Structure 1
Amino acid sequence: MPVPEQAAEPRPTAGEAAYSTGPARSGPLGQGRWSTRQWLTAGVSAALVVLVVLSGLAVAFFRHSAAVSNQLVDRSSPALIQAVRLEAALVNQETGTRGYALTGQAEFLEPYTQGLSQQAAATTALHALTTGDRTDAADLDLVLARAARWQRDTARPIAARPPGTPVPSGLAGAEQGKAEFDSLRAALTTQQTHLQQARNASRADLTTARRLRNWLFSTIAAVIIALAVLVFVGLRRGVNAPLERLTAQVRTVAGGDFTHPITASGPADLRRLAQDVEAMRERLAHELATSQTARDAVDAYAADLARSNAELEQFAYVASHDLQEPLRKVASFCQLLQRRYAAQLDERADQYISYAVDGANRMQTLINDLLAFSRVGRVHDQYAPVDLEQVWDQTLDALSVSTTETGTELRHDPLPQVSGDRTQLGLLLQNLISNAVKFRAPDRAPRIRLTVEPDGAMWRFAFTDNGIGIDPEFADRVFIIFQRLHTRDAYPGNGIGLAMCKKIVEFHGGTITVDPHHTDGTRILFTLPQTPPPPHTPAQAEES
């Protein structure tokens, strides 16, 4: 059914009001109060009512047509046929009696005898067919009465004479018999005329019924076609057209034009859907505007960060040259002072000078460690395939003195090839091995094992030693820069080694943790990607 497109604006639901950022817009064709389901229900109900009415008319027509056909086939035509048979039976009786009267021969009575049987059969059939019709019953009664009178006065007396017996001329040629049979013929003619008229009327009714049938079925076909056209037009205007308009508008917005408004049209549910989409568009437009503002702020922050990185580079240069030069002078002159005036200085002065030299040296070491930590992720080569077997061997060569002196036993699985920075990965292995050697147990030689296994897109490494171990409560703290778990007198160093390992691993796109469930030493688990990680921007590198 066609959907009217001009209707009042319904109130928005609670859900629509919750995130609607502006007033609802009306579509160019207006709004409908009914939903698509209501329109479909109303249209289908109306179509069903029309079809039921047409079906009722068709049933009534079929009943009428059946009655007319039955009247013609089962009553009018058989009655006329039986009337004709009754006439033939009576004519046969008249012919037989007349021949018998003229010749006296018995064989001439056979038509008479057969005529009586035919008369009885035709009479029985006519009684059944004319029941309920006074005219036909009266005609049959008249025919039978006149036939009985003719048979009584003429036919039976002739048939009762013995064969060969001359028939009295007065009886044989009696005018009375002829007059009675003519009267019987007139009654038969009247009966057949009435039956023929009834048959013609039935045929006329049947012809009328056929015309009515043609008209009725043509009307039903036209109504069904009209319903189909109405349903198509209604769905087209009420559902398809609003959906196509909404789809086109949504595609425009999805194509990037977030300022394009979504107009509502069609049934109530489609209009509510358009309003929901419009509210979502306005929310997205607002979020995009906020995002653009945030992006501008990020760009400004990136510019500030780039400037800060440049200043940091300048600071690193100053720290590596200008700051270390005074420290070297302090240490050198303190040592020179100690050598030249050793005879004039007491033990306390020597101790003070030793403290000054040690402090200068530790400050220089700390500056170098800070420079190395700041360079991770900021000063590095391009990612390239790195054979960890070669890096492992080179690291052992660099640490050969300490591992030999401590009797360190090192084992490892076949190491894979990864993509990364060779220098930084070497620094990672160097710090892990150095820590394992430094924090060894005093009663046994260090034993170090590096295992590796694939884990999806990552390589999972396990670096295990038999040293003093790390308490689980400090598992996260050890990766913080300058966090020490022991005094400098017990274990030298600046507490920067594992922090640097964490920064290197995370820069390469992996993770590093301490296994809290491992006992009898320390197990450090870290991962490295099998494929190169996404490229780091200078800002990302500095933040990491």
Structure 2
Amino acid sequence: MIPTEEDGYSRVRPRAVALAGRPDGWTTRRWLVAGACAALVVLAALAVTGGWVFARSTQISNRLVDQSTPALVASVQLEQSLTDQETGVRGYGLTGQPSFLDPYTSGLAQEKDSTVRLRTLLAHDKPGLADLGRLLDSARTWQQDFAVPVAAEPGGAPIKLATARADRGKREFDTVRAASDHLQLTLQNARDHARSDLQGARDFRDVIFSVIALVIVAMTGLVFAGLRRGVTLPLGRLSDDVRKVAEGHFDHRVSASGPADLRSLAQDVESMRERLVAELAFSDTARGQLDEQATDLRRSNAELEQFAYVASHDLQEPLRKVASFCQLLQRRYGDQLDDRAGQYIEYAVDGANRMQTLINDLLAFSRVGRLHSDTSTVDLEQLFARTVDALSLTVEEAGAEVTHDPLPVVTGDGTQLGMLLQNLVSNAIKFRSPERPARVHVSVERQDALWSFAVADNGIGIAPEFAEKVFVIFQRLHTRDAYPGNGIGLALCKKIVEFHGGSITIDPDHSPGTRFTFTLPGPAAAPSSDAATAAATIADREADAATGAAEAVTR
């Protein structure tokens, strides 16, 4: 028996217990979530800062491109338009030719366009608007006092009004030039300031992006360092400890480190290691007991072998003497004995014969898988033919018809398989129905790596409630007077089938009669022709040897 706790071998319980519920401390997931949230906050702040820098750079760039520079260009165009007017009026005044007024006329149109554009561009620039207003006021004064009156005079000769107002016109236009220069200077300063702001924004952007890059690199380093310290190193230590235990160092303790869930995992592994140590200690104790029991079992088997030898030789000799001397007693003193004494002698002879038959059956049953255990390829077609030939007298007396499907080649012991077929066929004939001729059919079909056989008859059948009982040794469903035998045949069949790795059952749906189904393995490989011939020769010899043994079992 295997030692149990009831036998005094109590198992050692591990002292470490798996953590239940929530782990104590921050878990890896919590650390990762906190780190990810902190990283997201930092990245969001950096993204907002970078966005602000981009927005500021864009704003300054747009102001420089869309406002400062176009305003300066428009102021130059406005100055050019006023210069064209002054040139045209002065030329007209000196010559009186109307063609000199063309620059004046185009200058007025260009002045209007430039003024409208400047007012639009300087809508939010109060100093620029003030300078523009002073310039326009000066230009309007010059135009009203000099340009418009001179241009209104008829041509053809030099304009006297131009000569008379030349000094005044020059002073007023110098005022216009000064106002224009002041406006351009104001716009130039605004553009330079915008350029300076843009350069400052670019420098600030570069600094911010450098800081962002440094922060990302630092965060990456922190992530790798944190993962290494909090996850990789604890997992590496745990793996090393588990590997040492797996290599057979069961006394090596598994250390716990790192976040709470990894510590919990390490404690669970340590608990499992201690449980394994306890189980191994118990197994060693059980193995020692099993070794002792195996020794006792080998000694018991040896004694059983000796008993089988005694049963096959020494026990049968007294039985033969009892039967022989009882028969001699009956023949020699039969005239001196009454009928009751003769009946008693017959009982004694019959009991001795049945005892001898029973001993032979038990010997045959015990030899299955012990004496004949050599497996080879067996041609069941030939083996069945020899089996039916050995039962030919019984078949002829019963008037039975025995048929079969083409039978395959299987792997097994030829002697035992011959006993199996002979027992099943002889039982089918023995338990035939008196109401109809006996019909026995052996069928077979392939089931993956196994062959499924069926031996069906039309006899008296077996009730479903006895389907398992008939395979128990010495279990009989009828009296010896009705059907002779010792109740060991089907038990022998079951032992032979199970020895070959199959199973045997009774088909409950078959009617009338009984249908036994059993499975046998197919051959491992197809034998060559020489090997097949040799196997057939061996099978012939084994079948001949099985015939005598099977006849003893089925009596």
Which TM bucket (shorter chain)? 0.7 to 0.9
Q: Which residue of 2 aligns with 1:71?
A: 63
Out of 480, 493, 496, which is 2:488 matched to? 496
**Residues 521-540 of structure 1 correspond to what in structure 2 (within 5 A)?**
521-531=513-523
* Correspondence list, 1:345-494, <5 A: 345-494=337-486
- Please state if 1:146 is matched with 2:171: no
Q: Aligned pair in 2 of structure 1 residues 242, 173: CA closer, same or farther (>3 Å)?
A: same
Aligned counterparts of 1:434 and 1:504: Cα–Cα separation in 2: 16
Partners of 1:259 and 1:409 lie apart in 2 by 72
Task: Give the Å deviation of 1:168.
Answer: 4.2
Alignment match, 2:113? 121
Q: In structure 2, what is the equivalent of residue 542 of structure 1? A: none
- CA drift of 1:381 comes to 4.2
Is the 1:32–1:267 Cα contact (8 Å) retained in structure 2? no
Query: Does 2:257 match 1:236?
Result: no
Tell me how far 1:216 sits from its aligned partner: 2.3
Map of 1:88-107 to 2, 5 A cutoff? 88-107=80-99
Equivalence for 2:536: none
C-alpha contact 1:377 1:507 (8 A) present in aligned 2: yes
Corresponding residue for residue 333 of structure 2 = 341
Question: Is the 2:461–2:512 contact (alpha carbons within 8 Å) kept by the matching residues of 1?
Answer: yes
Contact 1:510–1:529 (8 Å) recurs in 2: yes
CA separation of 1:258 and 1:416: change in aligned 2, threshold 3 A:
farther
- Note if contact 2:90-2:162 (Cα within 8 Å) is conserved in structure 1: no
Picking from 8, 24, 30, the partner of 1:38 is 30
Which stretch shows the higher mean deviation, 161-170 or 293-302?
161-170
Structure 2 partner of 1:185: 177
Structure 2 residue corresponding to 1:288, chosen from 274, 280, 290: 280
CA pair 73-515 structure 1, distance change in 2 beyond 3 A: closer
CA separation of 1:63 and 1:384: change in aligned 2, threshold 3 A: closer
| Structure 1 residue aligned with 2:192 | 200
Compare 485-494 and 228-237 and name the one that shifted more.
Answer: 228-237
Comparing 194-203 and 31-40, the one that deviates more: 31-40
- After the TM superposition, which of the residue ranges 249-258 and 75-84 deviates more from structure 2? 249-258
Select between 376-385 and 92-101 the one with higher mean Cα deviation: 92-101
Q: 2:499 — aligned with what?
A: 507
SS of the aligned residue for 2:315 comes to helix
Q: Which residue of 1 aligns with 2:16?
A: 23
Aligned ranges 1:245-256 → 2 under 5 Å: 245-256=237-248
Q: Deviations over 1:471-518 (max 9, x none)?
A: 222222122222222222222222222221221121222212222222
How far, CA to CA, are the matches of 2:166 and 2:379 in structure 1?
Answer: 149
- Indicate conservation of the 8 Å contact 1:25/1:264, yes or no: no
**Superposition TM-score, scaled by structure 1 size:** 0.85
Code of the residue aligned with 2:362 in structure 1: it is L
Q: TM-score, normalized by length of structure 2? A: 0.84
Query: 2:311·2:359 contact (CA, 8 Å) conserved in 1?
Result: yes
Any unmatched runs of 5+ in structure 1? 1-18, 533-544
The aligned counterpart of 1:12 is none
Secondary structure of 2:141's partner?
helix
Unaligned runs of 5+ in 2: 1-11, 525-555
Q: Contact (CA 8 Å) 1:20, 1:279: kept in 2 or not?
A: no
| AA in 2 matched with 1:125 | R
Cα offset, 1:25, TM superposition: 10
The answer (yes or no) to whether the contact 1:32–1:265 under 8 Å persists in 2 is no
- Matched-pair contact (CA < 8 Å) for 2:377–2:523: no
Tell me the CA shift for residue 367 of structure 1.
1.6
Q: Structure 2 CA distance, aligned partners of 1:437 and 1:166?
A: 160
User: Helix, strand or coil: the match of 2:505?
Assistant: strand
Stretch moving more, 33-42 or 369-378: 33-42
Task: Tell me the SS of whatever aligns to 1:307.
Answer: helix
The CA RMSD over aligned residues, in Å, is: 2.8
The worse-fitting range, judged by mean Cα deviation, of 114-123 and 416-425 is 114-123
CA contact (8 A) 1:131 1:137 kept: yes
CA distance in 1, matches of 2:142, 2:216: 65
Contact kept, 8 Å, 1:464 with 1:522, in 2: the verdict is yes
SS at structure 2 position matched to 1:393: helix
Match of 1:343, SS state, is helix
3-state DSSP of counterpart to 2:515: strand
Q: In the TM superposition, what whole-angstrom CA distance separates every residue of 1:7-55 from its partner, at most 9, and x where no partner exists? A: xxxxxxxxxxxx99333799xxxx9822232222222222222222122
Structure 2 equivalent of residue 9 of structure 1 = none
Alpha-carbon separation, structure 2, partners of 1:105 and 1:262: 113
Amino acid at match of 2:191: R
Percent sequence identity is 61
Residue 130 of structure 1 corresponds to 122
Aligned-residue offset at 1:174: 4.8
CA deviation after TM superposition for structure 1 residue 303, in Å:
1.7
